[in-house]
C-alpha cells in the first residue's frame, strides 16, 4: 500500500494529467482512515479486532455470546468493532492472568465486589524447544534403545554386549 499523501499535495496533483480524480479520492480515503486510527475511532472487522487482541475470531464471538463484550455495530459482514472493544478484551485478558474466572470477570464488569482469586494463577507455560542428539539402537526384533548421546557415550564394545544381552532376553536374530 502506498504512503498517504498530504492533502495539499493531493490538491496540487489532482489537476495534473498523470494523477486521476479516482486516485486522489482513494488517497484521501486512505489518509482519513489513517487519522481515524490515530484518534482511536477506527472501525475494525472481527478479524482485525481478534488480531489486535491476540485472539481468534471464535474467541471474540464467545466473549460477545457470554456478554463479556458488547456486540459490534451493524449486522453480518458489515459489523464493526471499535477501540472500546479492544480495551475490553485487553481488560478481560488482564483479569484472567490475575486468576479470575469468566464468571468473576462478568461480576467485576457489572460492578459487584469479587474476592481475590484463592490461588495464584498458574504461570503461563511455554514449551521450550531443545535440541539433543539422540541415538537409536535396535537391540532385537521389536526392541530399541534410545539414549542421549550428549549425556551417555558407551563404547562400541559395551553396545555390542548390551545388544547381545537384549537378544538373549527377548530372543533375537
Distance between alpha carbon 4 and the CA centroid of its chain, in Å?
A: 29
23 pLDDT higher than 60: no
The rounded distance, in Å, linking the Cα atoms of 43 and 7 is 22
106 pLDDT higher than 50: yes
Helix locations, 55-137, DSSP H: 57-65, 83-97, 102-109
The rounded distance, in Å, linking the Cα atoms of 90 and 61 is 15
Query: Closest by alpha carbon to 99, among 111, 112, 108?
Result: 108
Predicted local confidence at residue 27, as pLDDT: 53
The rounded distance, in Å, linking the Cα atoms of 51 and 49 is 5
β-strand pairing of 134-140 with 143-148: antiparallel
Per residue in 50-94, pLDDT (tens digit) is 999 999 999 999 999 999 999 999 888 888 999 999 999 999 999
Predicted local confidence at residue 122, as pLDDT: 63
Contact 59, 68 (CB under 8 A): no
**Where does the pLDDT of residue 152 fall: very low under 50, low under 70, confident under 90, or very high at 90 and above?**
confident
Predicted local confidence at residue 85, as pLDDT: 94
Amino acid at each position: 500500500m502506498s504512503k498517504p499523501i498530504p492533502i495539499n499535495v493531493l490538491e496540487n496533483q489532482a489537476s495534473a494529467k498523470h494523477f486521476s480524480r479516482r486516485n486522489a479520492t482513494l488517497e484521501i480515503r486512505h489518509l482519513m482512515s489513517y487519522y481515524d486510527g490515530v484518534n482511536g475511532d477506527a472501525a475494525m472487522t472481527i478479524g482485525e479486532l481478534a488480531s489486535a487482541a491476540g485472539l481468534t475470531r471464535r474467541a471474540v464471538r464467545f466473549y460477545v455470546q457470554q456478554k463479556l463484550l458488547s456486540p459490534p455495530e451493524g449486522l453480518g459482514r458489515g459489523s464493526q468493532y471499535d477501540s472500546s472493544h479492544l480495551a475490553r478484551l485487553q481488560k478481560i485478558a488482564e483479569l484472567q492472568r490475575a486468576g479470575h474466572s469468566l464468571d468473576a470477570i462478568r461480576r467485576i464488569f457489572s460492578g459487584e465486589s469479587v474476592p481475590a482469586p484463592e490461588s495464584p494463577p498458574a504461570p503461563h507455560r511455554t514449551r521450550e524447544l531443545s535440541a539433543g542428539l539422540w541415538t537409536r539402537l535396535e537391540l532385537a526384533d521389536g526392541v530399541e534403545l534410545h539414549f542421549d548421546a550428549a549425556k551417555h557415550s558407551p563404547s562400541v564394545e559395551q553396545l555390542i554386549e548390551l545388544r547381545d544381552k537384549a537378544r538373549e532376553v527377548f530372543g533375537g536374530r
